[in-house]
A and B are shown apart, each in its own frame.
Chain A
Amino acid sequence: MENYSPKVVCFSCRFGWGYLHEDPNLSRLPGMVSVTCSGKIETRHVLSAFKRGADGVLILACPEGHCHFQDGNFKTEAKIFMLRKVLSGFGIEGDRLRMVMAVDPAGGLMSQQVEELKKDLSALGPAAAPAEAAVAQA
């Protein structure tokens, strides 16, 4: 898929992943969402991202035990495991939803993670729009 450039939405937690809005060339990129804690990301945010045409969603959270809000990352991880199964039910491969738990106060790692996901996504091709996804499965 040469000319296909995957659209990624990236939710990054402010504590572990640097202050996104201080990095001009990153924060102006479309699809970069900064949240106070990954625990604040609701399932409907992820679902809406795919509904609006995202080919992949990346969640950048603090490593285990380092979440500023105790278990925000832990609860989000539980959601992600189950959400992957739900996505495949709707015809969207679970691998399109990725969660990385690491510390990157300087914000350098973020664009690298996004590029890595984009590379993997180009192998998968575009996520079928949810309604057609059911047919694509047939």
Chain B
Amino acid sequence: MTAKPKVAITWLGACGGCDEAIVDLNEALLDVAAAIEIVFWPVALDFKYDNVRAFKDSEIALSIITGCVRNSEHAEVAELLRRKSGIVLAFGACACFGGTSGLANFISKKEIFDYVYKDAPTVVNPNGVFPQTVTELDGKTLTLPEFYEHVYALNQVIPVDYYLPGCPPPPDLIATAVKAVLTGDLPPRGSTLAPRRALCDTCPRNKKKPLRLEITKINRIHQIESDPDFCFLEQGILCMGSATRGGCGETCVRNNIPCRGCFGPVPGVEDAGGRYLSAIASILKTPETEDLRDLTATVMDPAGTFYRFGQAVSILGREKLAKP
């Protein structure tokens, strides 16, 4: 009987939530696990870099990679797995778009280091020490991976075959994605394994949304008690459902919290943040331009809100990792 397809799962600059989402498959995982041979899952199985190196190129049927690329070790692991895998699946918002860590691209590595190791109120650092990639301690050498200047999404480091968005991706989408890869009935390479239509289309609040929506005031989530039956936008609360891909089950919206787009944009959008910005701009209504300036000023943090998950793949933020 043909050998079970080999599957590798690993995390790079990730929080571990995606791995939890895989473990959360619970029962579903057991039958998926039966159909495959997990050959590499550092958080769960023994970590064997050399075993992966021992595989022939593309011998691993599927590599599921979570997390962004933030240091040299992440890049090495990503490149190794790409070489050894037939299909690479970018799993979760960090791998697909850089995720929340991508917000670090709005500032420099130096600013992070200066604050964390010098300026934070609790820091006690009399001799101004900073972490080094190589430290000599009376004859002993200690190394740390190099911390990149920039946060990269996975496809800026290695070619990626499929994308599974979400922070983390919901169990049902994971199971369907893995099964699709194993059975081989897959859309063309480069596709996202999630619905194509926008979150608004399946949102329970969409029914009562007026056709020509106009808002004259922006409310922040703590400033009002939002009504669970009406669209957030109608209540002046920024919600990014109109340009966000559906498939998450409207988890936040059903919990009475607006969407921040962790599923990424609907197909064909080059800059998700720009699309969200335009969607909000198009529904603002004020009598004169003067009030428009004040109204838009109440959108407190357009950069941090509209680029919450996608800074690393935005037009101005994206960058390819230059091979050293």
Interface, chain A (partner B; CB < 8 A): 42-44, 47-48, 50-51, 64, 74-79, 81-83, 85-90, 92, 101, 130-131, 133-135, 137-138
Which B-chain residue is minimally distant from A136 (CB atoms)?
A: B108
Known interface pairs A50-B316, A82-B277, A86-B277; A44-B271 also in contact (CB < 8 Å)? yes
- How many whole Å from A45's CB to the nearest CB in chain B? 9
Known: A44-B270, A51-B316. A89 touches B296 (CB 8 A): no
Given known pairs A81-B293, A83-B277, the reply for A138 and B108 (CB within 8 Å) is yes
B302 is contacted by which of A48, A82, A131 (Cβ under 8 Å)?
Answer: A82
Number of A-B residue pairs at CB separation under 8 A: 95
A44 touches B315 (CB 8 A): yes
Is residue B299 contacting chain A, with contact meaning CB distance below 8 A? yes
Contact yes or no, A86 B292, CB < 8 A? no
Chain B nearest CB from A79 CB (Å) reads 4
* Additional 19 contacts, C-beta under 8 A, given A44-B271, A85-B301, A131-B319: A43-B277, A47-B271, A50-B316, A51-B316, A64-B288, A78-B281, A78-B295, A79-B278, A81-B296, A85-B302, A85-B303, A87-B316, A88-B303, A90-B106, A134-B106, A134-B150, A135-B149, A138-B107, A138-B110
Cβ 8 A contact of B273, one of A50, A78, A86, A88? A86
Distance in angstroms between the alpha carbons of A85 and B304 in the assembled complex: 10
- Hey, which chain A residues are within 8 Å of B292, CB to CB? 74, 77-78, 81
> Closest approach, in angstroms, between the C-beta of B309 and any C-beta of chain A?
15
Please state if A135 and B110 are interface contacts (CB–CB under 8 Å).
yes
Interface: B317 (CB within 8 A): yes
Q: In the complex, which of the residues A44, A78, A101 has the most CB atoms of chain B within 10 Å of its own CB atom?
A: A78
- A76 / chain B contacts, CB cutoff of 8 Å: 281
CB<8 Å pairs between A and B, sample of 29: A44-B274, A47-B315, A48-B315, A50-B316, A74-B289, A77-B289, A78-B281, A78-B292, A78-B295, A78-B296, A79-B277, A81-B297, A82-B296, A82-B299, A85-B302, A86-B277, A86-B302, A86-B307, A89-B302, A89-B303, A89-B304, A130-B317, A131-B150, A131-B319, A133-B316, A135-B149, A137-B111, A138-B107, A138-B110
